[in-house]
Structure 1
Amino acid sequence: MKRNNTHQMVMFAMFASLTTVMTLLFRIPIPNAQGYLNIGDAVLLLAALIMGPAAGFWVGAIGSALADMIAGYAMYMPFTFLVKGLEGFFAGVIYKKTGNTILAVFIPALWMATGYFFTDWLLYGTAAAVAAVLMNILQGIVGAVIALILFKILNPIFSKR
């Protein structure tokens, strides 16, 4: 069913805001590395499944980069914008092309861990990138699982609109 532009903008703003909030609310610093674990990925992946690739990109990019700015990780903002934006975009594209929610959340989650590996390597060197990679994979997996659960619960509600 086609939604009007106002509805789409409200949904986008809601998901971007929720991504920021969930990133900041459940923030666990990564030991021996920069950055932190969070569950903002769950919201941006959910947005991509419900609203598609473009929304997935913008929700991930804006919501996550805003969280970095608020949390004092401004140096990550341009990287987060790209990594999380593409995570949401890939989730939306994979789901749209395959209809497979598992692939649509786990492949982008692995992309996120890879993107942050290269970010940490560029910013801090090999040791920091290696130290953070397992925690980023864990964050991606947890976000993907939560997104799958939320999608199963919320998709029937969103598809009725």
Structure 2
Amino acid sequence: MNEKRKLTTKDIVYSGVLAAMCAIATSLKIPFGVGAMVHLGTAFIFTVGICFGGVYAGLAGAIGSAFYDLLMGFSPYTAWSFIIKGTAGFIVGFVAKGVWPAPATSEGSWAWRALIGCVLAAAWTLGGYIVAWWQITGSLATAFANIPSSLMTSGVGVVVAMILSPKLRKTVNR
């Protein structure tokens, strides 16, 4: 298990840069359905979790996704995104790498942990956004109608993260 440590200035700077990159990745989207979208923000969060661990992915996902919602006029979703995407980032990072960045592990074991972390984070995200859509729109039918776009976004996120992460992990671990 990783040793206990506190956030350093370096951690805060990295988290801020990763959060900004998450907001940018979320803006790379393909509209789908009513108010739904398939975007690369989830892929970014999953990749950060696999490469950097739960704290960085959680902070990047929470701040970046909430900032995107606030800037792009999705303000009713800002608090929801902060909690849902932040927790999803922490989940994938914690399962794949641990709370903080740790030394590299064997190549075979990280891939399974990364995949399991991504699937758990995707399930959390789907459940969280069903509740968010229901509360914001007032319609459970609308919430359920957005399930395919959430699954597509998470599916794209898993595929992109599993393709990018092996190369990025080698660079990060140097």
TM-score (norm 1): 0.88
**Matching of residues 1-80 of structure 1 within 5 Å:** 5-24=8-27, 26-31=28-33, 33-80=34-81
Partner residue in 2 for 1:110: 123
72-81 vs 11-20, which deviates more? 11-20
Is 1:159 the counterpart of 2:173? The answer is: yes
Is 1:121 the counterpart of 2:134? The answer is: yes
Structure 1 unpaired stretches of 5+: none
Aligned residues between the structures: 156
**Contact 1:35/1:73, CA 8 A, preserved across alignment:** no
What letter corresponds to residue 114 of structure 1 in structure 2? Answer: G
1:11-59 C-alpha deviation (Å, 9 max, x unpaired): 32221111100111x222331x334221101111122222221222111
Aligned mates of 1:11, 1:154 — CA distance in 2: 16
TM-score (norm 2): 0.81
Structure 2 unpaired stretches of 5+: 1-6, 99-108
Higher helix share: 1
What letter corresponds to residue 31 of structure 2 in structure 1? Answer: P
Partner residue in 1 for 2:91: 90
CA drift of 1:104 comes to: 1.5
Alignment RMSD: 2.0
